[in-house]
Amino acid sequence: MWIVAGGLLLLLALAASPLWTHSLAAQPPGSRALLPGNDTPILLDTLGIAQPIRGSRDSIFAATGAVFAELKIPIEESNAGTGMLRNLNAQVSRRLGGVPLSRYLDCGRGFSGSNADIYRIELAISVWVEPATGDAERLLVAIAATGRDPSGSRSAFSACTSRGALEERIAAMVQARLDKK
């Protein structure tokens, strides 16, 4: 009985301590994308490619929003506290920000060339700043995608993999906007 009561008191003390609440605040924002053709959610916060970044958290957040607008990626959710912007269901075809999708995604090849330039792409993208508290050091960009041949409604979705180029481009565009200020 005393052991159970002591364990409960310890748990309550940990939950109320600043150390515990700080570690919860430092967690990356969870992003679970369920793309067509996948049976299980994709945990985007485990896929983030880290890019070094220099600037205040607020200016990084504003610059990232401007980059999303420039690339014509609608923002579904944003959180200024974590510096997170995301769209878990963006639909894109052929080009993104004036660049062929095959530069960013590998969806396989067909008779007509790279499938990424032909398919209708379902894109999940999440961008956030780390660490979640203190000075911003890294911009993380996570991307997952599936594609489908537009020539037939019965075609199955295919998994697409990121080439890392869109993640690099977003981080470079954000840093360029920060450097102008």
Of the candidates 36, 30, 1, 14, the one whose C-alpha atom is nearest the C-alpha of residue 160 is: 36
* Number of folded domains that form the chain: 1
Q: What predicted TM-score, i.e. pTM, was given to this entire model? A: 0.79
Domain CATH for 116: 3.30.530.50
**pLDDT tens per residue, range 101-125:** 999 999 999 888 999 999 999 999 9
DSSP 3-29: HHHHHHHHHHHHHHSHHHHHHHHTSPP
Share of the chain above pLDDT 90, in %: 50
Distance CA(170)–CA(167), nearest Å, equals 5
Q: Is residue 114 part of a domain?
A: yes
**pLDDT tens per residue, range 25-53:** 444 556 777 677 777 877 777 778 888 99
Q: Which residues of the chain have pLDDT under 70?
A: 1-30, 34, 132-134, 153
Q: Is residue 88 part of a domain?
A: yes
CB 122 within 8 A of CB 91: yes
Distance CA(101)–CA(119), nearest Å, equals 10
The amino acid present at 12, given as its one-letter code, is: L
Domain span including residue 94 = 28-180
